[in-house]
Amino acid sequence: MSIKSDTSVAPVSRLPVFNKNMSAEDIEKMTRNAQEASNFLKAISHEGRLMILCHLASGEKTVTELEELLSARQSAVSQQLSRLRLEGIVKPRRDGKVIYYSLTDHRSTQIMEVVYDLFCRQD
């Protein structure tokens, strides 16, 4: 049995190229973006919050629906939603006495798709 070397070309990275000739403005922008990304990743780096985002990726849900889906107490779900709301990842919508939660933008859905592909997809 012979082992063949992989001669395929590696995909071109979409990551920026950093070098010592970057302007102060570019470095400042990169630092701001890194801080924003860090805050976002910290906010979703909890099992409960990650599960909430999984459920909200399919559409808005009430706190009660999330409680049932997660088999969790209302206080635990509300605490995790509070952190996600504070970071601007989810938004509430009140309809009478009921509060619905949904994702604020496409970033959360994109991250959840990547997490799913890396950790959950059955090949």
Q: Could you tell me if residue 24 is inside a domain?
A: no
- The mean pLDDT of 111-121, rounded to a whole number, is 87
pLDDT at position 79 over 90: yes
Q: Which amino acid is at 49?
A: R
Q: Could you tell me if residue 87 is inside a domain?
A: yes
pLDDT band, residue 11 (cuts 50/70/90): low
Question: In angstroms, rounded to a whole number, what is the distance separating the alpha carbons of residues 99 and 56?
Answer: 13
The structural domain count of the chain equals 1
Q: Could you tell me if residue 13 is inside a domain?
A: no
Looking at the DSSP assignment, which residues form a beta bridge with residue 100? 62, 93
Q: Which domain holds residue 77?
A: 48-119
- The mean pLDDT of 32-43, rounded to a whole number, is 92
- The mean pLDDT of 91-96, rounded to a whole number, is 96
pLDDT at position 116 over 50: yes
Q: Could you tell me if residue 39 is inside a domain?
A: no
User: Burial, 19: exposed, middle or buried (Cβ in 10 Å; 0-12, 13-18, 19+)?
Assistant: exposed
What was the pLDDT predicted at 1?
44
Q: Could you tell me if residue 29 is inside a domain?
A: no
What was the pLDDT predicted at 73?
96
- The mean pLDDT of 89-102, rounded to a whole number, is 95
Question: In angstroms, rounded to a whole number, what is the distance separating the alpha carbons of residues 114 and 91?
Answer: 22
Q: Could you tell me if residue 80 is inside a domain?
A: yes
Report the share of the chain in percent with pLDDT over 90.
Answer: 58
- The mean pLDDT of 79-108, rounded to a whole number, is 94
Q: Could you tell me if residue 81 is inside a domain?
A: yes
Instruction: Supply the CATH number for residue 54's domain.
Output: 1.10.10.10
Question: In angstroms, rounded to a whole number, what is the distance separating the alpha carbons of residues 100 and 20?
Answer: 48
Question: In angstroms, rounded to a whole number, what is the distance separating the alpha carbons of residues 123 and 114?
Answer: 15
Q: Could you tell me if residue 94 is inside a domain?
A: yes
